């Protein structure tokens, strides 16, 4: 059944359907379907005939029709708030790996932290019946909206990533930012730092506040202390550079012997500013530590100590939770917290001691 599509277009062979295959092989549609999905139920002779027909007609099953019959499509939806953020790229990698292991595709949507897009894509994923969906959240406000929509028409499992909420209808996977902050504190204290400058952002983001809280907690009673708090407007290298310049005198005077910046780009900017000063040696005179382990941390003339986020882990765990909710009737929604990892580089430890 190769229909003519008429008109002057270059003739495109119409796709053949299961019915075509069945006709050519002289069997029923049901048998063709069995060859594809339960080959063991079909006798070798028929199977061969059907397979030959499939090959000959270049038959590729119609995914949409299959999904309709099955009731869902073998794919997971992921809504990322910012695809240019390396944490989310890592996270995506985790999702893809875990999904692939389970034979599912991953549909990615990028929302640019635009709530309208987030909702639009969630709606779409719901509407094409993905197996389940994963959403990265970085604002209370977005979270509240998505949950509200969900009350309207949500049915697939939904897991929130990089966010810790409290709602027993969902699972959450988030990084333990508090522990990450504490790791930095311990590392600095253990390597003999006592007077630490902390560099943060002016806006209040859950993850960043937690890093600082963990840091302060862990530093308490160790003899080390925070001697300065700087903040930069944006998480950009140039901001870090300006902060670095501002800190120069106090570092030269020995008043500050370590800097903890809550983001790598900022830390890299600081390192760049300090490196310009011939009177300062890093890490002998001052240690610099960032957070996130993105390219700015390792790709720097002076590689920077940082905390690696459990990006892939969050992605993979999210997928696991979706499948658990899907298959395990006793599944209880829960909050999974994953530990980050300290990556020590030249910016905080004299090479010999590294």
Among 2, 11, 13, 19, binds DNA (CB under 7 A): 19
Give the whole-angstrom CA distance, residue 232 versus residue 245: 12
Structure tokens at 314: 């969050």
Integer-rounded Cα Rg, in Å, for the chain is 27
- 40 or 328, CB closer to DNA? 40
8 is a site residue for a second copy (CB under 8 A): yes
- 37 or 140, CB closer to DNA? 37
Which of a second copy, DNA, none binds 265 (CB below 5-8 Å, type-dependent)?
a second copy
- The footprint of DNA on residues 59-88 (CB under 7 A) is 59, 61-62, 65-66, 68-71
Buried residues in 271-298 as b, exposed as e (16+ CB within 10 A):
bbbbbeeeeeebbeebbbbbbbbbebbe
253 is a site residue for a second copy (CB under 8 A): no
Which of DNA, a second copy, none binds 109 (CB below 5-8 Å, type-dependent)?
a second copy
Which of a second copy, DNA, none binds 18 (CB below 5-8 Å, type-dependent)?
DNA
Among 60, 166, 351, 353, binds a second copy (CB under 8 A): 60
Work out how close the CB of 53 gets to DNA at its nearest, in angstroms, rounded to a whole number.
12
Give the whole-angstrom CA distance, residue 264 versus residue 266: 5
- 45 or 352, CB closer to DNA? 45
Under rule CB under 7 A, how many of the chain's residues touch DNA? 31
37 is a site residue for DNA (CB under 7 A): yes
31 is a site residue for DNA (CB under 7 A): yes
CA 104 vs CA 123, 153, 154: distances in Å: 20, 23, 20
282 is a site residue for DNA (CB under 7 A): no
103 is a site residue for a second copy (CB under 8 A): no
- 77 or 207, CB closer to a second copy? 77
**CA 240 remoteness from chain centre:** 25
Residues that bind a second copy (CB under 8 A): 7-9, 12, 15, 58, 60-65, 67-68, 73, 75, 83-84, 86, 89, 92-93, 96, 105-110, 112, 120-121, 123-124, 126-129, 152-153, 155, 236-238, 241, 265, 269, 272-273, 275-276, 295, 299-301, 329
């Amino acid at each position: 059944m190769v229909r003519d599509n008429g008109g002057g277009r270059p003739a495109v062979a119409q796709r053949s359907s299961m019915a075509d295959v069945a006709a050519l092989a002289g069997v029923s549609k049901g048998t063709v379907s069995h060859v594809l999905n339960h080959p063991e139920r079909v006798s070798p002779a028929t199977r061969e005939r059907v397979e030959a027909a499939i090959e000959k007609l270049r038959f590729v099953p119609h995914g949409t029709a299959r999904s309709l019959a099955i009731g869902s499509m073998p794919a997971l939806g992921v809504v990322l708030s910012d695809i240019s953020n390396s944490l989310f790229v890592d996270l995506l990698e985790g999702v893809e790996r875990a999904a692939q292991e389970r034979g599912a595709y991953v549909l990615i949507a990028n929302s640019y932290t635009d709530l309208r897009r987030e909702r639009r894509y969630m709606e779409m994923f719901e509407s094409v019946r993905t197996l389940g969906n994963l959403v990265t959240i970085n604002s209370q406000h977005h979270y509240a909206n998505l949950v509200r929509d969900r009350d309207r028409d949500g049915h697939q499992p939904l897991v929130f990533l990089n966010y810790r909420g409290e709602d027993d209808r969902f699972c959450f996977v988030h990084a333990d930012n508090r522990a990450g902050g504490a790791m930095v504190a311990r590392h600095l204290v253990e390597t003999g730092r006592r007077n630490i400058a902390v560099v943060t952002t002016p806006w209040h983001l859950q993850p960043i506040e937690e890093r600082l809280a963990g840091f302060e907690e862990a530093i308490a009673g160790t003899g080390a202390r925070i001697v300065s708090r700087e903040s930069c407007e944006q998480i950009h290298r140039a901001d870090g550079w300006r902060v670095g310049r501002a800190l120069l005198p106090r570092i030269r005077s020995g008043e500050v012997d370590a800097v903890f910046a809550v983001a790598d780009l900022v830390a890299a900017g600081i390192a760049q500013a300090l490196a310009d000063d011939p009177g300062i040696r890093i890490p002998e005179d001052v240690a610099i530590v960032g957070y996130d382990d993105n390219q700015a941390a390792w790709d720097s003339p002076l590689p920077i100590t940082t905390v690696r986020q459990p990006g892939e882990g969050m992605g993979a765990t999210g997928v696991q939770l979706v499948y658990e909710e899907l298959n395990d009737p006793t599944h209880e929604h829960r909050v999974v917290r994953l530990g980050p990892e300290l990556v020590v580089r030249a910016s905080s430890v004299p090479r010999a001691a590294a």
